[in-house]
């Protein structure tokens, strides 16, 4: 499938930002491999709506299974140009007491597995114009607070991998990038009013669109930036110092 097109694997590509990425790459002629964990019906429906797409399944808690998936794809894709590690778990916890279950899950799904997938991808795949990895981090790298404690730690771990993977890559055409979004889509139990408020808590006082994240990925896919860099797509949120996650800041503002 898609042998005449450059291929991209998007983890979490069936829903939310991942689905926007899938559509955006399909629109410009890529063969899109939509990874899903539990969203089989959404993944199949999305793939059926795109010109060239397929679905793959693995639970990202299974790091070895995810590596096996990469190796399997590498064996049949002649121009696998891009891996986007977008999928993540984002569970609420606080810094007062470490929730070991959430901490372990976040670090496996958000850091260990995508790092191992990137390593396997750079080890085993072929691409006509160089290979690209985009690791999704978060604006919390520069604007941390204790909310979503385990998630934030995992994204710092993911960030640490980017420069090292860039140094490890043997082909000078290869690139490893970070992409750090801010508040893009509603999270958890946010009301519409809370979402509207929280998404404007940035320097530009504007909502950052999922299409902006997709456009940044399309730009990075061309490899014009030096390997190891991170782009922030957050309307300047990472330049602020916010004592709480914007979900809770907005809730406090709505409640007076």
Q: Distance (Å, rounded) from C-alpha 137 to C-alpha 179? A: 6
Interval 35-83: pLDDT, tens: 999 999 999 999 999 999 999 999 999 999 999 999 999 999 999 999 9
Superfamily assignment of 7-184+210-236 in CATH?
NAD(P)-binding Rossmann-like Domain (3.40.50.720)
Contact 62, 11 (CB under 8 A): no
Domain boundaries, the chain: 7-184+210-236
Q: Which tokens belong to 180? A: 């750090």
pTM, whole model, 2 decimals?
0.96
Query: What is the maximal distance between C-alpha atoms in the chain?
Result: 57
pLDDT at 2 over 80: no
Closest CA to 88 of 187, 174, 176: 187
């Amino acid at each position: 499938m898609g042998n005449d097109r450059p291929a991209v694997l998007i983890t979490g590509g069936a829903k939310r930002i991942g689905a926007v990425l899938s559509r955006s790459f399909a629109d410009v002629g890529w063969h899109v491999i939509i990874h899903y964990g539990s969203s089989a019906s959404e993944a199949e429906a999305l793939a059926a709506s795109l010109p060239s797409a397929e679905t793959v399944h693995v639970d990202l808690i299974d790091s070895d299974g995810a590596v096996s998936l990469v190796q399997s794809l590498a064996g049949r894709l002649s121009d696998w140009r891009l891996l986007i590690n977008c999928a993540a778990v984002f569970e609420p916890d606080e810094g007062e007491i470490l929730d070991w279950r959430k901490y372990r899950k976040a670090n496996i799904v958000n850091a260990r597995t995508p790092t191992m997938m990137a390593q396997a991808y750079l080890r085993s795949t072929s691409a006509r114009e160089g290979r690209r990895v985009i690791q999704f981090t978060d604006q919390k790298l520069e604007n941390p607070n204790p909310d979503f404690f385990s998630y934030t730690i995992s994204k710092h771990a993911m960030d640490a991998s980017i420069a090292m993977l860039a140094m490890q890559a043997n082909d000078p055409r290869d690139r490893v990038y970070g992409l750090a979004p801010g508040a893009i889509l509603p999270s958890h139990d946010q009301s519409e009013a809370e979402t509207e408020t929280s998404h404007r808590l940035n320097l530009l006082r504007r909502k950052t669109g999922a299409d902006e994240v997709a456009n940044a990925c399309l730009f990075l896919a061309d490899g014009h930036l030096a390997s190891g860099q991170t782009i922030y797509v957050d309307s300047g949120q990472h330049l602020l110092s916010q004592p709480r996650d914007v979900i809770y800041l907005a809730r406090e503002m709505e409640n007076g």
